[in-house]
Structure 1
Amino acid sequence: MDFSTIIQNVGFPIACCMALGYYLNNKDKADREERKEDKIADREREDRLLQANTELLVTNKQLAESVEIIAKDMKEDINRTEAKVDKILEKVGV
């Protein structure tokens, strides 16, 4: 059925309302499909971000452990150096 036949049968205002309803229905379907695709893309992005965050947490934990080991070694080196300085001061007599 073409638009002119609908106008002849039900009148111009009703035909325009029907055309508008048809347009809005199709637009709504297209919008729903687009939102569905956006939602899927957002979930995929979130999954990638969660995976990256998990990897960063593991890396940060490893770095923190390394820094602790290095700090402990440095503290031991400082203590040994202080002990040697104390021995030198005793020998010098200061």
Structure 2
Amino acid sequence: MNFTELLQTFGFPVACVACLGFYIAKVQAEQRADSKEREEKLLTQLGEMSATNKMLLETNAILARDINTKLDQIVQNIKQ
């Protein structure tokens, strides 16, 4: 077996493995970047949702107090 045959039989698989390794590394880097971007967007949305939920909680507490006051007035009117 001479050097050219060895290079032809051995070089092609090595080149394929190197190219596939490069491709896998590139795809993985892109996926990490996409995941990071998606995670940042989700964190922003979660912050906005938390603020909205806090406002809704305060509004519901006010409405519940108003309903209780009106119910107390109705009960007082019924007792009279």
The equivalent of 2:36 in structure 1 is 43
Q: Give the TM-score, by structure 2 length.
A: 0.89
Larger Rg: 1
The correspondence of residues 1-80 of structure 1 with structure 2, limited to 5 A, is: 9-10=2-3, 12=5, 14-80=7-73
User: Relative contact order (alpha carbons < 8 A, sep ≥ 6): 1 or 2 greater?
Assistant: 1
Rounded to whole Å, the distance in 2 between the matches of 1:20 and 1:67 is: 68
**Aligned residue pair count:** 80
**Runs of at least 4 residues of structure 1 off by over 2 A?**
11-15
Q: Give 1:32 deviation, angstroms.
A: 0.3
Gaps of 5+ in 2: none
Shift of 1:10: 1.6
CA RMSD of aligned residues (A): 1.7
Q: 2:75 maps to what in 1? A: 82
Cα distance in 1 for partners of 2:47, 2:22 equals 38
Give % identity: 20
Q: Which residue identity lines up with residue 44 of structure 1 in the other structure?
A: E
